[in-house]
Amino acid sequence: MTPPLLLYGANGYTGRLVLTEALARGVRPILAGRNGDALRTLAAPHGLEVRVAALDDAAAMRTALAGTGAVLHCAGPFIHTAAPMLEACLAARVPYLDITGEIAVFEAMAAADARAKAAGIAVIPGVGFDVVPTDCLAAHLKARLSGATTLELAFSGGTGPSHGTAATVIEGMGQGGAVRRGGRITRVPTAWRTRRVEFADKPRLCVTIPWGDVSTAFHSTGIPDITTYMATTPQGLRSLRLMRLAEPLLRTGFVKGFLRQQLAKRPAGPSAESLGRTRSQVWGEVTDAAGRSVRARLSAPTGYALTAMSAVRAAERVLAGGIPAGFLTPSRAFGTDFILALPDTVREDLP
């Protein structure tokens, strides 16, 4: 029998969506995390096994990982949680997957490539909306223009953030933006550049943000210059530019602590209704040294729904075997067309 999947952070907003998707596909994961009562309540209707373990408890993590075929890590902010989970997986020789979108986490995972190969495990961060659609589109574009030297990616659509996403945003506040130039990640100001992007529904104003592909797309394609954008409004753009003035304050523990307190008063995440009525869109363009360009775009379910779909399918592929050891991006692990396996997802090559 195939060893089971360990779903860590199963009682969080995204973890619950992942669990629902897993059960719908016949995957019965072991539920794990710190909150035993919440996990047991979640597991009871389905007769699932529960393993309670805090990431800073090495002995408990060894017990939690025993006999499992892979870990799907859904408990962020991953800047704090990814490293201890990776260490536990390396020690137990259990493949690692997560749903991060944090550049620093991707780079840390890439730096662990040799250790992952020595342990014989795949390490695949970012198997959700961050960064499956953008990563697969980047790889598709590179295949169409093999000599590409620049890559621009943009996304639009979705819902309000979950607690986990918002907590990650709070952690990164005041740090500015990031792009990749000459193969190196380079800090730039918040809202550094704008452009209009032809998404499937209409053109939209987009602004640079430090999306995970600043890290991952380089590892997937080797393209040295990468810029990532998010759709916004003129009002949103003005707000982002005003934030530049407040960045020293936003980096303080006092402000971040206050924002975390306010976050705790909000709903855990978007409603089921909002997940069903919105869609995500992704656009990309690559250009080579001679000025030749190719473009493509994707239309897909909204971010949190897509995360559940893609994360479960990624875990299924790892559990089935045949994925090489080492650090891998989603497109390198599962192929450029992995995103097209998700329901209601369409890719369109543009003139």
pTM given for the model? 0.93
The correct answer on CATH 3.30.360.10 for the domain covering 132-303 is yes
Q: Is the pLDDT of residue 265 over 90?
A: no
Average pLDDT (214-232) is: 97
Question: How distant, in Å, are the alpha carbons of 32, 44, 64, 68, 295 from that of 95?
Answer: 16, 26, 14, 9, 34
Of the chain, the end-to-end C-alpha distance in Å amounts to 48
Return the half-sphere exposure (C-beta side, CA atoms, 13 A cut-off) of residue 6: 28
Instruction: For the beta carbon of residue 317, count every other beta carbon within 10 angstroms.
Output: 22
Structural domain boundaries in the chain: 5-129+305-336, 132-303
| Beta pairing class for 148-157 and 96-98 | unpaired
Task: Assign 170 a pLDDT band (cuts: 50, 70, 90).
Answer: low
Handedness of CA 79, 179, 339, 155 (dihedral sign): positive
Q: Is the pLDDT of residue 57 over 90?
A: yes
Residues 6+ apart with CB under 8 A from 135: 126, 213, 216, 217, 220, 329, 330, 331
Higher pLDDT, 21 or 351: 21
Question: How distant, in Å, are the alpha carbons of 127, 145, 148 from that of 307?
Answer: 7, 28, 28
Helix/strand/coil for 162: coil
Average pLDDT (94-112) is: 97
Average pLDDT (158-181) is: 75
Query: 314's torsion region: left (phi>0), alpha (psi -120 to 50) or beta?
Result: alpha
pLDDT digit string, tens, across residues 292-334: 999 999 999 999 999 999 999 999 999 999 999 999 999 999 9
pLDDT for residue 125: 98
pLDDT for residue 32: 98
Q: Is the pLDDT of residue 284 over 80?
A: yes
Burial letters 210-225, b for 16+ CB under 10 A, else e: bbbbbbbbbbbbebeb
Residues composing the chain = 351
Burial letters 3-20, b for 16+ CB under 10 A, else e: ebbbbbbbbbbbbbbbbe
Superfamily the domain 5-129+305-336 falls into: NAD(P)-binding Rossmann-like Domain (3.40.50.720)
